[in-house]
Structure 1
């Protein structure tokens, strides 16, 4: 039995964060039905985005919301759902006839989860954009990359998934807890600008104390510190160094065979020279040689693994961090005691009538 077993959630098929949120909720045990566009409504727009991984654990149900009969069946599903999640631009669900007010009239306990880039309100709410635009406006993007180059996109994990999908899941679960007590649902307005801004909370705290510079690559956690960054090795692969605390830094210096009196940790004026020295030493050995050298120390040095290598690492293999079904993919997380972490692949599609029968 998984933690969310018994919860019924409707996912209106979409891109990025709503698909990720649907996967997470299904991984946690919720019965999620993914409503997709039927052939009558046009080609399924998002059928291949995420494929077998992001669509795992829930059945697709093809619908045409412009068909009165399909719309009536979807409203029947809404009446029996605990939550609904969607990622359309503001106003789209209302135009489709399943906006928050309509849904609340059908089901007062329904939690209506909405995820957009800019949010449901504000002067930019109806503008188009993508992950990169949202994290740019939140200030998060300005902190990423080399100091003498434009900011580098951090994949789409900060906006779409961290500040978007994860915050949508958090908001939906919080509202579901409240609904159990009050009997009334909520509308959850999750915006990637809000969420990615929230993820930068630590750096606002540091900046308020004069401990964070807006110049990229000069700070403790953005690659400015020689003891918290990545280094190239002789074979062209990389190691990650995270020796923040003094005792860990001492272990790093010991492994690099650098005398402590020649490498004061927090002398920021010497960081550039120290970085160059560390880089020269790391370039003398292959990545896996360094990994073996530091394996049983507190130096916080680890190999930078590729996507192909990560599942094979002994620690990841022992924990089952990745699962291999037809393809290798990250296993559900977090884990719970007494729970099987076996993957639930994407089930066969259901018709609307089958979906209604399943939910009674």
Structure 2
């Protein structure tokens, strides 16, 4: 691919599950030339063996099978590394070294290489060699303890907070920062992205709030933006759908009440925490009296911060999302479009993965 902000950047991605493919997808979306290296018989995340076109995470790049345990395979892998700007791998610490493609070997061959590593626990520390999955790393980061409703267990946040947010996006930032620094130093370096580090970093603001007495870290679902406030929560509609309410500021809260047909003078004050249950009941009763489509129409064009909770299959049909082309169709598969947007070097239309 010759278009996009990363046109001309060469990336070799050693196939793993989790955050590695997402990092490679982001780089490829914006024009980097990415080669995905699979082990022999490697199984894609979606679809039958060899079907990259059905796997959105593997769009915009080609895959090759290389047996790194054979002399011929290692030679082929090192040839790719010698010509790369960025390497991505997500094995447990020590695995790449044993295979002969670790940082020492790779940087000796290509001193300008940005060697990106993403793992759950990181390359150092007493847990670095241990197994784990997204939920374990988010738990250890402290961030999982903040997610959930009052009186309920912590809510499992899919892989958004750990693998993708704390792992993949941190590594994407890291390798691009290192690539920028290389323009000055002329040298590559290793980027160690740990999901536990990144998931903790995502919660920076809330660590600050807790230490200033603005956040109760001992209870979930009692704070301003964790479903504790009745004006920042989701409510069921009469047809079993949901609306998201995010009216934090007084002027937006007033607009919310207007749209819902509620009389502010007959309700508790917005920040009267002792009477939040009454306020929640009033908002819930109002939203629950009508179907989702009614409220979507009533809130349209207002600052009520009242939004339908869309299913994934509905996202592309929303007027705003359609206008921005938030979703794109790639070989029959609807998927999120590359982001963010660039004014001069926009990402080219995605293409299906290929062998």
Please give the TM-score of this superposition, normalised by the length of structure 1: 0.93
Greater mean deviation of Cα atoms: 262-271 or 2-11: 262-271
Q: Is 1:147 matched up with 2:150? A: yes
Note if contact 2:31-2:347 (Cα within 8 Å) is conserved in structure 1. Answer: no
1:13 corresponding residue in structure 2:
15
2:255 corresponding residue in structure 1:
251
Note if contact 2:178-2:189 (Cα within 8 Å) is conserved in structure 1. Answer: yes
**In structure 2, C-alpha distance between the alignment counterparts of 1:121 and 1:307, rounded to whole Å:** 38
1:131 corresponding residue in structure 2:
134
**In structure 1, C-alpha distance between the alignment counterparts of 2:119 and 2:285, rounded to whole Å:** 46
Shift of 1:291: 1.0
**In structure 1, C-alpha distance between the alignment counterparts of 2:19 and 2:290, rounded to whole Å:** 41
Note if contact 2:66-2:76 (Cα within 8 Å) is conserved in structure 1. Answer: no
1:358 corresponding residue in structure 2:
none
Note if contact 2:30-2:347 (Cα within 8 Å) is conserved in structure 1. Answer: no
Cα deviation digits, residues 270-314 of structure 1 (max 9, x gap)? 112211111111110001101111112111101100011111101
Note if contact 2:4-2:347 (Cα within 8 Å) is conserved in structure 1. Answer: no
**In structure 2, C-alpha distance between the alignment counterparts of 1:265 and 1:276, rounded to whole Å:** 13
**In structure 1, C-alpha distance between the alignment counterparts of 2:240 and 2:188, rounded to whole Å:** 54
Note if contact 2:150-2:228 (Cα within 8 Å) is conserved in structure 1. Answer: no
Q: Is 1:3 matched up with 2:1? A: no
3-state SS of 2:168 partner = helix
Q: 2:316 aligns with which of 311, 315, 318?
A: 311
- Distance change (3 Å), C-alpha of 1:317 and 1:171: same
**In structure 2, C-alpha distance between the alignment counterparts of 1:269 and 1:285, rounded to whole Å:** 28
Q: Is 1:292 matched up with 2:297? A: yes
1:301 corresponding residue in structure 2:
306
Cα deviation digits, residues 208-229 of structure 1 (max 9, x gap)? 1101012111000100001111
Shift of 1:259: 2.0
Cα deviation digits, residues 49-77 of structure 1 (max 9, x gap)? 78420000010011011111221121111
1:212-251 matches, within 5 Å, as 212-214=215-217, 215-251=219-255
Note if contact 1:13-1:46 (Cα within 8 Å) is conserved in structure 2. Answer: no
2:35 corresponding residue in structure 1:
33
**In structure 2, C-alpha distance between the alignment counterparts of 1:34 and 1:248, rounded to whole Å:** 47
Cα deviation digits, residues 79-103 of structure 1 (max 9, x gap)? 1110100000000000000110111
Q: Is 1:330 matched up with 2:328? A: no
**In structure 1, C-alpha distance between the alignment counterparts of 2:353 and 2:147, rounded to whole Å:** 39
Question: Which 5+ residue runs of structure 1 have no aligned equivalent?
Answer: 350-360
**In structure 2, C-alpha distance between the alignment counterparts of 1:48 and 1:304, rounded to whole Å:** 26
1:258-273 matches, within 5 Å, as 258-261=262-265, 262-273=267-278
Q: 2:286 aligns with which of 267, 281, 284?
A: 281
Shift of 1:149: 1.6
**In structure 2, C-alpha distance between the alignment counterparts of 1:3 and 1:314, rounded to whole Å:** 28
Note if contact 1:2-1:28 (Cα within 8 Å) is conserved in structure 2. Answer: yes
1:354 corresponding residue in structure 2:
none
RMSD of aligned C-alpha atoms?
1.4
1:44 corresponding residue in structure 2:
42
Note if contact 2:58-2:353 (Cα within 8 Å) is conserved in structure 1. Answer: no
Note if contact 2:11-2:35 (Cα within 8 Å) is conserved in structure 1. Answer: yes
3-state SS of 2:132 partner = coil
- Distance change (3 Å), C-alpha of 1:266 and 1:247: same
Cα deviation digits, residues 5-37 of structure 1 (max 9, x gap)? 000010001101001000000001110100011
**In structure 2, C-alpha distance between the alignment counterparts of 1:124 and 1:147, rounded to whole Å:** 31
3-state SS of 1:231 partner = strand
**In structure 1, C-alpha distance between the alignment counterparts of 2:45 and 2:200, rounded to whole Å:** 30
Note if contact 1:118-1:191 (Cα within 8 Å) is conserved in structure 2. Answer: yes
Cα deviation digits, residues 132-155 of structure 1 (max 9, x gap)? 000001011111112212111011
Note if contact 1:331-1:341 (Cα within 8 Å) is conserved in structure 2. Answer: no
3-state SS of 1:309 partner = helix
Question: Which 5+ residue runs of structure 2 have no aligned equivalent?
Answer: none
3-state SS of 1:308 partner = helix
**In structure 2, C-alpha distance between the alignment counterparts of 1:185 and 1:79, rounded to whole Å:** 12
Please give the TM-score of this superposition, normalised by the length of structure 2: 0.94
**In structure 2, C-alpha distance between the alignment counterparts of 1:55 and 1:296, rounded to whole Å:** 37
Shift of 1:46: 4.0
